[in-house]
Amino acid sequence: MTVLVTGAAGFIGFHVSRALLARGERVVGVDNLNDYYDVRLKEARLERLAAEPGFAFLRLDIAEEGSIAALAGREPAIDRIVHLAAQAGVLYSITNPAAYIRDNIQGQHVLLELCRCLGRLRHFVYASSSSVYGGNRKLPFSIADRVDEPVSLYAATKRADELISHTYSHLFRIPATGLRFFTVYGPWGRPDMAMFIFTKAILAGEPIRLFNYGNMRRDFSYIDDVVAGVLAVLERPPPEGDAAPHRLYNLGHHRAEELRHLVELIERATGRKAIVELAAMPPGDVPETFADIEASVRDFGFAPRTPLEEGVPRFVDWYRDYHGL
């Protein structure tokens, strides 16, 4: 059978596709290769996937209903979907909100309609975000927490995705699971994330900005741990007997790290000293994220194993190798 991975040229999509291929699955990858960040990085990821037996790539826009609906006829063996394609980034949602409504909400709807067309789908797993917790002050963030006060449009679209998916699951018996990712990082990571931005600047001798005057904490999740979680979830759809076979889980490391500690680790891995500038909190951002992963551990054995002290050097090594430094 076949797994459809949307956003296959993206950071998490690339790693999930590689892991599926490594265990002998056939993967159909979909991506529109938009220019939110350097397309050459996406193309380099795809080049490596294309070298793997069992991988097929289609350049498609997930928000274009006709193109995605045609997959049901073109790839009738699809029995599982990992939907990771989305317009990412909190700050960009302030300047280009239309992209988030289109790609995140309309795109989610189009993929759920594809699930209906496929009929026999075993599981629809999709990306949500820790951003849905908004300004919640209770830590760690739990799946049981209320999430009806988002502080960014990006967060609002991800919460909308969860609600729409729950409704489709209830009405059409689509087994679906949403995963709230917490600051995923690692080799082949996104250039708009702090790990990439800080490493690039420190190696170039350029200043970095620490928001909220450095008083920020993040639950950094290493990519290999997250991928293991995604694959474990994929094989465990919600029970058919549920009123709505739809569940939500956190995928994080269950540890909130000081942003200053991240900078120290990058300094150590690069052998360079950071030039630090302190700045106010930008709109839509939050001072701390921290995942409660009790349900993920209980239901599918999620076990994050990579501490930041190991993950940061791995990222820096990849960054240097990729850029020939």
Rounded Cα distance between 226 and 230, Å, is 6
pLDDT at 7: 98
Sheet strands (E) in the chain:
2-6, 26-31, 55-59, 78-83, 123-129, 176-181, 184-185, 207-210, 217-218, 221-222, 246-251, 257-258, 275-278
Lookup result for tokens 């928001």: 211
* Class of the domain covering 2-182+220-254+289-305: alpha beta
pLDDT at 137: 87
Average pLDDT of the segment spanning 301-309: 97
pLDDT in tens, 249-282: 999 999 999 999 999 999 999 999 999 999 998 8
Average pLDDT of the segment spanning 10-34: 98
Q: Compute the C-alpha angle 46/51/53, nearest 5°.
A: 115
Percent pLDDT > 70 in the chain is 100
pLDDT at 1: 86
C-alpha distances out from residue 240 to 78, 123, 233, 291, Å: 20, 11, 15, 27
pLDDT in tens, 160-211: 999 999 999 999 999 999 999 999 999 999 999 999 999 999 999 999 999 9
Phi, psi of 100 (to 5 degrees): -75, -40
- Give the pLDDT band (50/70/90) at residue 91: confident
pLDDT at 157: 97
pLDDT in tens, 230-255: 999 999 999 987 889 999 999 999 99
Average pLDDT of the segment spanning 60-84: 95
Rounded Cα distance between 30 and 48, Å, is 15
**What is the token pair recorded at 87?**
């317009």
Percent pLDDT > 90 in the chain is 91
Rounded Cα distance between 173 and 210, Å, is 45
Q: What is the mean pLDDT of the chain?
A: 96
pLDDT at 53: 93
Closest CA to 68 of 54, 55, 83: 83
pLDDT at 120 over 90: no
What residues are labeled active site? 154
